[in-house]
């Protein structure tokens, strides 16, 4: 027998998130409950892995994240708006957050980033940015009013040391970024 959701109870909600209590029957037939959070009005998020070519550098962003209670280093990312696919959202978010424009190279199927806490899906979008163009053209970010984002370009060979220096300075490191760097080094 496979586990099955019996009922989802909406406990509390806000503008962007809602708390839910899920009643389900596990694979052994036992009734259980699980607390989780879900997004309202969202089709998931797009996480951008932007690589500058031919420089072989990656674009990272650093911003204060209230739930973490600190500034966090991460890849650019954002919610997928109604009427958008992940690639379109990635192009928009990269431009808004960093000022860079790129070319979508690959879009992976949506995956769950924290399935024990949320059903939110994240779609990874690999992008290439023309480094030769940006040698003569400074990127001009246009973040949303509530965003204060710092942008970094970090050569592949310096990713690990850059992240460790950020960590020593008290910056939080997004687990997806850490996973990416581990995969590069493994």
pTM: 0.91
pLDDT above 90 coverage of the chain, percent: 84
Please indicate, yes or no, whether residues 24 and 69 belong to a single structural domain of this protein: no
Please indicate, yes or no, whether residues 80 and 121 belong to a single structural domain of this protein: yes
Q: Can you tell me the distance from the alpha carbon of 55 to that of 51, in angstroms, rounded to the nearest whole number? A: 8
The number of distinct structural domains making up the chain is: 2
Residue range(s) defining the domain that contains residue 34: 4-39
Please indicate, yes or no, whether residues 119 and 31 belong to a single structural domain of this protein: no
Q: What is the DSSP letter of 116?
A: T
Q: Please spell the DSSP secondary structure of 28-97, one letter per residue.
A: TS-EEEEEEEEESS---EEEEEEEEETTTEEEEEEEEETTTTEEEEE--EEEPPTT--HHHHHHHHHHHH
Please indicate, yes or no, whether residues 89 and 166 belong to a single structural domain of this protein: yes
Please report the pLDDT score of residue 41 as a whole number. Answer: 76
Please report the pLDDT score of residue 143 as a whole number. Answer: 75
Mean pLDDT calculated for residue range 155-177: 97
Confidence of residue 43 (pLDDT cuts 50, 70, 90): confident
Q: Please spell the DSSP secondary structure of 134-168, one letter per residue.
A: HHHS-------TT---EEEEEEGGGHHHHHHHHHH
Please report the pLDDT score of residue 113 as a whole number. Answer: 87
Please indicate, yes or no, whether residues 73 and 28 belong to a single structural domain of this protein: no
Please indicate, yes or no, whether residues 26 and 51 belong to a single structural domain of this protein: no
Mean pLDDT calculated for residue range 134-155: 88
Mean pLDDT calculated for residue range 56-61: 98
Which CATH number do you get for residue 159? 3.90.79.10
Please report the pLDDT score of residue 77 as a whole number. Answer: 96
Q: What is the CA radius of gyration of the chain?
A: 19
Please indicate, yes or no, whether residues 58 and 119 belong to a single structural domain of this protein: yes
Q: Which residues pair with 106 in a beta bridge?
A: 126
Please indicate, yes or no, whether residues 25 and 116 belong to a single structural domain of this protein: no
Please indicate, yes or no, whether residues 79 and 153 belong to a single structural domain of this protein: yes
Confidence of residue 133 (pLDDT cuts 50, 70, 90): very high
Please report the pLDDT score of residue 78 as a whole number. Answer: 94
Mean pLDDT calculated for residue range 157-172: 97
């Amino acid at each position: 027998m496979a586990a099955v959701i019996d009922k989802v109870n909406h406990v509390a909600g806000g503008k962007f998130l809602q708390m839910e209590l899920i009643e389900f029957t596990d694979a052994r037939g036992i009734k259980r409950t699980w607390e989780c959070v879900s997004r309202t009005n969202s089709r998931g998020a797009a996480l951008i892995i932007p690589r500058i070519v031919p420089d072989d550098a990656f674009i990272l962003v650093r911003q204060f994240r209230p739930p973490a209670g600190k500034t966090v280093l991460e890849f650019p990312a954002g919610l997928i708006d109604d009427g958008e696919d992940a690639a379109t959202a990635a192009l928009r978010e990269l431009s808004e957050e960093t000022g860079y424009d790129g070319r979508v190279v690959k879009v992976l199927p949506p995956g769950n980033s924290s399935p024990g806490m949320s059903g939110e899906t994240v779609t990874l979008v690999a992008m290439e940015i023309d480094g030769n163009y940006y040698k003569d053209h400074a990127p001009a970010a246009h973040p949303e009013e509530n965003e204060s984002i710092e942008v970094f370009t970090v050569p592949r060979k310096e990713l690990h040391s850059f992240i460790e220096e950020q960590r020593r300075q008290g910056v939080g490191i997004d687990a997806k970024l850490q996973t990416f760097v581990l995969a590069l080094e493994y």
